[in-house]
Amino acid sequence: MFGKKKAFSTARIDTLVGQGTVINGDLIFAGGLHVDGKITGSVIAEKDSSAILILSEYGRIEGEIKVPNMVLNGEIVGDVHGSTRVELAPKSRIKGSVYYNLLEMAIGAEVNGALVHQPPESEKQKVLEDQSSKWQEGAAPVAEK
């Protein structure tokens, strides 16, 4: 939008599920995954990764999706969890809830479920939790500067 080049358009694709390919079972991946085929099972990115899922208009996923970044333009039956960014392209059809931090939704995209905003945990919150656990263990908390 507004002439900015999208980072997803130049994403590196490490795994391709081609049109006509059917996977029955969970798929765990790292890096970039492009799906033109059908997956029946969960699609999950490895923890602490900056993985991206690109689902084309020909692709279909029946199961839960847990990937930090995604561009969806196909059909999904199941919940979608995007901890960083979720882009719903014009031909995306989702039957399930979408949990997101940042969401871009094009005209024509459909979501038959809830849209739930989940902001990322802040670093300050993590520091407070760490200090709290140390305090409970008997150590004095350290004051922030």
Diameter of the chain by CA atoms?
60
Tokens of 13: 């694709």
Per-residue pLDDT of the chain (145 residues; tens, 9 = 90+): 444 445 555 678 999 999 999 999 999 999 999 999 999 999 999 987 789 999 999 999 999 999 999 999 999 999 999 999 999 999 999 999 999 999 999 999 999 999 999 988 755 445 455 555 555 555 555 555 4
Q: Which three-class secondary structure state does DSSP give residue 8?
A: helix
Tokens of 3: 């002439």
Separation CA 25–CA 41 (nearest Å): 5
Q: Which three-class secondary structure state does DSSP give residue 127?
A: helix
